Structure 1
Amino acid sequence: MGFGNKWSRHGVMSSSTELSAYMPETRKMSQGNLTSMLNKYGMVYVKPVNGSMGVGVMRVEKRGKGIRCQAGTVRRSFPDVASGYEAIRDFAGGKAYMVQMGIRLKKYRGRPFDLRIMVQRKPGGPWKVTGIAGRLAHPRKIVTNGSQGGTIYPASVLLPGSEALINRMKGISLRTVRRLHAVYPGLKQIGLDMAVDTQGRPWIIEANTKPDPCPFTKLPSHAALREIVSHGKAWGIHYKLKCLKSHRGR
C-alpha cells in the first residue's frame, strides 16, 4: 500500500484536531489560489505534490501589484500575478503543485532553518523519535535540504535554551505519525520537517515517508544515526548515507 503524496498526507494531518493548529494553510495550485494566498500572507511556497530533496520548490512574494519568485538561486520579478503564474506553470512542466502559506522562520547567523525529525518503529514495537537534526539553509537558497547545500547542526545549537520546545516538537511528531499510521497502516518511518517561526510557534511543514537520514551523518554524535539505521534494518531498509552536498555545522 502506498502512503499518498504531499497533498493527501497534508489533508490527513490537517483533518486531525490534535494537529490542525500546527499545519500551515495549503491549497492546490491555481491562479485564484495563488492570488488569494498572496493577498492573505504576502509570501507563499509553491511546491510539487510529488517531490523530494527540495527540488522544484519556489518562494513567491508579493511586491506591490507584482510578485517576485525564487527557485534555487534564481530570482525573477513579474508585473502581476497572472504573468507570474504563467511562468510558474511553465516551471512546473505539467506536474501537480500546491501553494503553502509562507512561514517566517527563525534564523541562525542570518539564515533560516528547520528540523528533520525521524520517527520510526520496529516490527511489533512502539513509535519512537530516533533522531533530530537542524538544517540551516544555503546562504543563497530558500530551502534547508542538505541535498541543496544546507548545513547540519544539532537542534540544541539552532534552538539554544529551548529544551521544552524541542520536547514539545517530539510530542507533536509522535502524534503526527500515529495519525498517519491510522490511515496508512503499512507505515514504518517518517521524516517530519518541522519549523519554528519568529514568534516561537512550531509548524509541520511536511511528512516524508521515504526519509533520507543523510543529515544525521553530519552531526557530531552518530548515536541518532545508529538508532535510525538499526530501526531501518529491522524492516530490511538500507540507507545509502552518501551526503555529498550538505555541510557539517562548525
Structure 2
Amino acid sequence: MRKDLTLKKHIPRTKLATKDSLRSMLKQYGMVYVKPSHGSQGRGVMKMQKLGAKYTYQLGSKKSTFTTYEAAYRSIHKEMKGKRYLVQKGIRLLKHKGRRFDIRLMVQRAPQGGWAATGTLGRAAHPGKIVTNGSQGGSIYSTVQVLKSHAGPAGRWKLLKSMDRLGLRTARLLRGISPGIKELGLDFAIDAKLKPWILEVNTVPAVCPFSLLADKSMLRRIVRYGKAYGKTYQLKCTKAKRGK
C-alpha cells in the first residue's frame, strides 16, 4: 500500500519495533503506538509517550512511567514476549464525550461488479483504555454522532467521501494482489485537521457492530452484498455495545 502515493499520504509511518526504531520515532513524534504485527481485537497495543524528561506507556488500563528510555524499553520489551511488534506514528484521535474514537469503513464487492463502500460507524474507546475495539470495552456510535461536534454537514460529507475513495482504492489494490478478497474493514483515525489516516485493514471484518446502530439500512446493504458472494454473518454482538 505504501507504494501507492495517494494511500501513502494517509498511512502513519510504521517500522519494525526495535530498541533504536522506537527511540528515534518517539523522539520525532513524541507519541507512538507499539502493536503486534499480527494482532487482533486491540490486544497487546501500547501507547508510548515522552513527556518532558519522563517516558510513559499504557497497555490496557495500566499506565507505567520511567525516568529513562532504557528502563521504559526493558519493560515494553518484556510485554512483547518475544513476538514481532511494529512501532507506528501516533495520531491523536478526536474525542466524543471525552472518549477517543476512530471510524470503521466497510468496503465490499458489489453484486453488479466492482467495489462499493457500504457502511461506516464510529468506535469510541473505553474511558480508561487506548483502543476502540468492542472486546476492549469500546462503544458503537453513528458517524454523525461522533463527528458532529468536529465538523458541520459539509465537512462531514467531504471527510466521508475522502474515506470512501481511500477505501475503494485500497480494495482495488489489494484485490490485484489477492484476487479472492471480497470485503475489507478499514479503521480510520481522524486528526484535528480532519485528515483521515488508515490505521488497520481487516480482511475478515466483523459486521455485528452495524446491528447496534439505530439506522439498519447499512446493515441490510452489507448483508445483501455479502449474500451475493456467499457470505453469512454473525449479527449478535457479544462484546461491542451501543454507545449512549
- Shorter-chain TM-score: which interval? over 0.9
- Report deviation, 1:97: 0.6
TM-score, with structure 1 as normaliser: 0.90
Contact 1:192–1:207 under 8 Å retained in 2: yes
Cα deviation code 1:125-155 (max 9, x no counterpart): 2111111011111111101112211111111
Gaps of 5+ in 2: none
Match of 1:171 in 2: 165
RMSD value, Cα: 1.5
User: How many Å separate the matches in 2 of 1:82 and 1:238?
Assistant: 49
User: How many Å separate the matches in 2 of 1:167 and 1:122?
Assistant: 18
- Report deviation, 1:234: 2.9
Tell me the secondary structure at the aligned position of residue 22 of structure 1: coil
The amino acid of 2:157's aligned partner reads E
Count the aligned residue pairs.
Answer: 238
Match of 2:108 in 1: 120
User: How many Å separate the matches in 1 of 2:32 and 2:218?
Assistant: 33
Q: Does 1:108 align with 2:96?
A: yes
Q: Does 1:87 align with 2:81?
A: no
Tell me the secondary structure at the aligned position of residue 237 of structure 1: coil
Q: Does 1:185 align with 2:179?
A: yes
User: How many Å separate the matches in 2 of 1:27 and 1:111?
Assistant: 27
Match of 1:236 in 2: 230
Q: Does 1:24 align with 2:7?
A: no
Contact 1:147–1:243 under 8 Å retained in 2: no
User: How many Å separate the matches in 2 of 1:230 and 1:58?
Assistant: 37
1:155-170 to 2 correspondences below 5 Å: 155-160=143-148, 161=152, 162-170=156-164
Match of 2:57 in 1: 69
Structure 1 stretches of 4+ with a deviation exceeding 6 A read none
Tell me the secondary structure at the aligned position of residue 177 of structure 1: helix
- Report deviation, 1:21: 0.8
Match of 1:96 in 2: 84
Match of 1:131 in 2: 119
Tell me the secondary structure at the aligned position of residue 19 of structure 1: helix
Contact 2:111–2:225 under 8 Å retained in 1: no
User: How many Å separate the matches in 2 of 1:213 and 1:83?
Assistant: 41
The amino acid of 1:214's aligned partner reads C
Gaps of 5+ in 1: 1-12
1:24-43 to 2 correspondences below 5 Å: 24-43=12-31
- Report deviation, 1:174: 0.8
Cα distance change on mapping 1:84 and 1:179 into 2, 3 Å: same
